[in-house]
Structure 1
Amino acid sequence: MNSFNLSEWALTHRSFAWFLMILTLAAGAMSYMSMGREEDPSFSIPTMVVSAAMPGATAEEMLTQVTDRIERKLQELDGLDVTRSVTYPGQAVVYVDMGDEVTGDDLDASWLRVRNMMSDIRADFPQEFQGFAFNDDYSDVFGNVYAFTYDGFTPDEVKTYVEKIRDEVQALDGAGKVDLMGTREQVVHIEFSADRLAALGLDAQTVLSALSAQNRIVSSGSIQTAQERILIRVSGQFDDVAALAEAPLRIGGVFFT
């Protein structure tokens, strides 16, 4: 018995063969046109970075007092694949890798559990421990990037305008996270005269502590009436740079102006 020969069959049934070829091409073209596609497709990376800081600690102290505690607690996490860590003097970085079966909403729930776990053990760390920082934004995709230039405006004025634009963009339907990059934070630099401090018998740290205490927000009590409770606030906070420069200081019972 002769076996079936596809080439011979196609040559003897040319019309039907052409029909099948055209049908296949048409079906492929329709499938391609209807196939879902995105310019910036979303995807999930099953890794979170947990950073911890304790200034002044050696790498060995960070390993035994911080890194090991974090990794032991993370072993309780459902769906955990592996943890990887890097320890530096004063800083520890732990990578939390989830298994391939953890995706979508389950992955978001896992990151929330990681944060809760770290909150649960926060009190177990030394007093010098400064806390945790979490990063699980690997899969964020910026659909649009806008650059703002300015002429005749100060950086603070431009920042104010851009922040208003950010709020309006954030309110748009379908908008995700809106970040500002390259902005300048307002910073006041305080310079001391070493000779004058020495003449007054002071040091820079003492003066900074006095300024910090004066600029602190504290409760000054309240007055309870029959109708309402009135809060009392005595504020010594600095409103501008001039107020900071002219601030009188009380150090050791002595006032300095």
Structure 2
Amino acid sequence: MKQNKPDLAKQGFNLSAWALKHQSLVLYLMVVLSLGGILAYGKLGMKEDPEFTFKAMVVRSFWPGASAPEMEQQVTDKLEEALQGIAYIHFTKSYSRSGESLITIMLHEDQKNNVTDAWYQVRKRINDAKSKLPLGVVGPFFNDEFGDTYGNLYAFTGDGFSYPELKKYIELARTELLRIPDVNKALLIGQQDEKIYVEYSNAKLASLGISPFQINKVIAATNTVTPAGAIEGKDEHVFLRVTGGFNAVEHLRSLPITVAGKTFLLGDIAQVFRATIDPPKPKCAIKGKTRWVWASRCVKGVTSSKWASRLMHRS
């Protein structure tokens, strides 16, 4: 009985047969690819939270003293109207309360490559709509940095140091951090801004027959920064600066107040002190203690292991 041999040409390309026929070439390719993989492994980035594109933006506006309906009608509705017609936007969600407006903007899922242009259009439209907002509105403010991730966190604490002293040293450490090559961003977390508070005594104000608004007007006029001109010389240009601004709590306490023909020091009728803002911003706590934390991230393309070794060497 005659047996027909299979026609290999009709069966198509056979990878196994080709590999057995060219064993030397296959071995060479395996060695090269293995070495390439070993070398590439040492350059892989290591991040607990990789970067990703977040297709959302929050727009916040403030109007002190306005009610929730006023914020909705005079601020939120006008800003949302300005956003109409932007093709990148999937939907917007707004929230209005007394003195504050918050708009969340979400893009379509297929707009990953157009996020930068979309946020440009949003900022442009809202900035054009600012002229329609009432006087006294603060903002709008934009936040689209939800996708930022940080590879290193450092916590600071200082027993026996005051808040301004500790803040000074932490800012110095942050400045040194930004000098390290490949550091892209350093963010302070948990810091609390300071303000000078003036708390009046109602009994003293009533006895003098003046109101807090009159005193506030005098304080604002004294601390106004205005140009005072300059003197043009032959070889020099000298700027004139008006003194009298407040740079310390003691200066504010000794400020003379003249209202309705009566002159007195501000410290005699009010308590003047420096303190952190109230209500405070979000704080950081590690092991039950409030601490300052700065988070840092490297530029794109730099391995986290190499970057972390530079941080440790600098510290």
Report the TM range for the smaller structure's normalisation.
0.7 to 0.9
Partners of 1:245 and 1:256 lie apart in 2 by 11
Within the alignment, does 1:218 sit opposite 2:226 as a pair?
yes
> Retained in 2: the 8 A contact 1:46–1:107?
yes
> Retained in 2: the 8 A contact 1:217–1:235?
no
Shift of residue 48, structure 1, vs aligned partner: 0.4
The amino acid of 1:65's aligned partner reads Q
Partners of 1:234 and 1:252 lie apart in 2 by 26
- Report what 1:242 is aligned to: 250
3-state SS in 1 of match to 2:251 = helix
Q: Residue by residue, what CA displacement relative to the aligned partner does 1:192-228 show, whole Å, maximum 9, x if unpaired?
A: 3333222222122221221121112112233334444
> Which of 184, 188, 195 is matched with 1:180 structurally?
188
- Report what 2:59 is aligned to: 50
- Residue segments in structure 2 that go unaligned for 5+ positions in a row: 1-19, 21-26, 266-315
- Report what 2:119 is aligned to: 111
Within the alignment, does 1:206 sit opposite 2:214 as a pair?
yes
Partners of 1:142 and 1:113 lie apart in 2 by 28
The amino acid of 2:61's aligned partner reads A
> Retained in 2: the 8 A contact 1:83–1:95?
yes
Partners of 1:192 and 1:63 lie apart in 2 by 34
Identity %: 31
- Report what 2:297 is aligned to: none
Partners of 2:73 and 2:133 lie apart in 1 by 11
147-156 vs 186-195, greater mean Cα deviation: 186-195
Kindly tell me: are residues 47 and 32 of structure 1, through their superposed partners in 2, closer, same or farther at Cα, counting changes over 3 Å? farther
Within the alignment, does 1:65 sit opposite 2:93 as a pair?
no
> Retained in 2: the 8 A contact 1:155–1:184?
no
Partners of 1:32 and 1:49 lie apart in 2 by 42
Kindly tell me: are residues 54 and 159 of structure 1, through their superposed partners in 2, closer, same or farther at Cα, counting changes over 3 Å? same
Within the alignment, does 1:74 sit opposite 2:91 as a pair?
no
The amino acid of 1:167's aligned partner reads T
3-state SS in 1 of match to 2:183 = coil
RMSD: 2.8
The amino acid of 1:63's aligned partner reads E
> Which of 139, 143, 154 is matched with 1:146 structurally?
154
- Report what 2:279 is aligned to: none
- Report what 2:205 is aligned to: 197
Partners of 1:60 and 1:197 lie apart in 2 by 35
The amino acid of 2:227's aligned partner reads S
Partners of 2:203 and 2:146 lie apart in 1 by 51
3-state SS in 2 of match to 1:128 = coil
- Report what 2:101 is aligned to: 92
> Which of 130, 135, 139 is matched with 1:122 structurally?
130
Kindly tell me: are residues 177 and 239 of structure 1, through their superposed partners in 2, closer, same or farther at Cα, counting changes over 3 Å? same
Shift of residue 174, structure 1, vs aligned partner: 3.0
- Report what 2:301 is aligned to: none
The amino acid of 1:155's aligned partner reads Y
Shift of residue 254, structure 1, vs aligned partner: 4.8
The amino acid of 1:85's aligned partner reads S
Within the alignment, does 1:157 sit opposite 2:165 as a pair?
yes
TM-score (norm 1): 0.78
Shift of residue 110, structure 1, vs aligned partner: 2.1
Larger relative contact order (CA 8 Å, sep ≥ 6):
2
Kindly tell me: are residues 211 and 57 of structure 1, through their superposed partners in 2, closer, same or farther at Cα, counting changes over 3 Å? closer
Partners of 1:95 and 1:158 lie apart in 2 by 36
Q: Residue by residue, what CA displacement relative to the aligned partner does 1:154-179 show, whole Å, maximum 9, x if unpaired?
A: 22121111111112222333323311
Partners of 1:230 and 1:254 lie apart in 2 by 38
The amino acid of 2:78's aligned partner reads R
